[in-house]
Amino acid sequence: MKLSANLGFLWADTPLPNAIRAAAAGFDAVECHWPYSIPAEDVAATLTETGLWMLGLNTARGNVSAGDFGLSALKGREEEARDAIDQAIDYAKGVDAAAVHVMAGFGAGDAAHRTYVENLRYACGKAASLGITILIEPLNRHDVPGYFLSTTDQAVAIIAEVGRPNLKLMFDCYHVQRTEEDVTHRLATLLDRIGHIQFASVPDRAAPDHGELNYDYVFRAIRALAWEAPLGAEYKPGGDTDATLGWMATARKI
């Protein structure tokens, strides 16, 4: 099983280039949340140094102090949303990242839906010539109440409506289990729409060695689906990341 370290959570107290170097000790790839304070050329150089691949990054959240958690479903803020999309795609190009997660933000209703669809079409159009996949991720209502995109069914319907081949679902096992359960069945059903898979324990979003989901079983189910891309370890270590990596030895053998 190939694995990616999400450096938004793992080694999060370490400057990004050093976090990439730390991940090189056991991971095949890395991914980020919001790397924009670090010049893309510095990240690209560290990726070359370590031989790791950057799988993806997120669009900026917006005005965090005002409560923003994404912009692309916010009616009236289309210009900001597209600036964030441009920024993310440009950064992804600079580090040769495979994907950009376009964050929807808080909202509901038809206006939010239409705004999100149009912004996703914009993102897909800009990313297509660069070979970049656009991802959308449902976030569970327990952790992120009010987030526009909350279920895989909603995401699949939006993917169909947008109608672009480079728009895919980011399937986070943690969020799906919290909202919908039946993770392995949902993985099998949605496989052709999935662009990336992430994981963490449920319900505490820690290392995948305890909790409601048996990740030995989940990882074997993913392997049986012939999934070959790295799986994203997006969990909160609650302290020293290196002390939480015991699960990797078993996962590597699957």
Residues marked active site are found at 137, 234
Radius of gyration of the chain (CA): 17
Burial 89-126 (b: 16+ CB within 10 A, else e): bebbeebbbbbbbbbbbbbeeeebbebbbebbbbbbeb
The DSSP bridge pattern shows strands 99-101 and 194-199 to be: unpaired
Which strands form 56-58's sheet, in the order they lie side by side? 53-54, 29-31, 3-6, 231-233, 194-199, 167-172, 133-136, 99-101, 56-58
- Give me 2's structure tokens: 């190939």
204 to each of 32, 176, 181, 187, 201, how far by Cα in Å?
20, 14, 15, 21, 6
Q: Comparing C-alpha atoms, which of 216, 213, 222, 202 is closest to residue 247?
A: 216
Question: CB under 8 Å to 131, separation ≥6 — which residues?
Answer: none
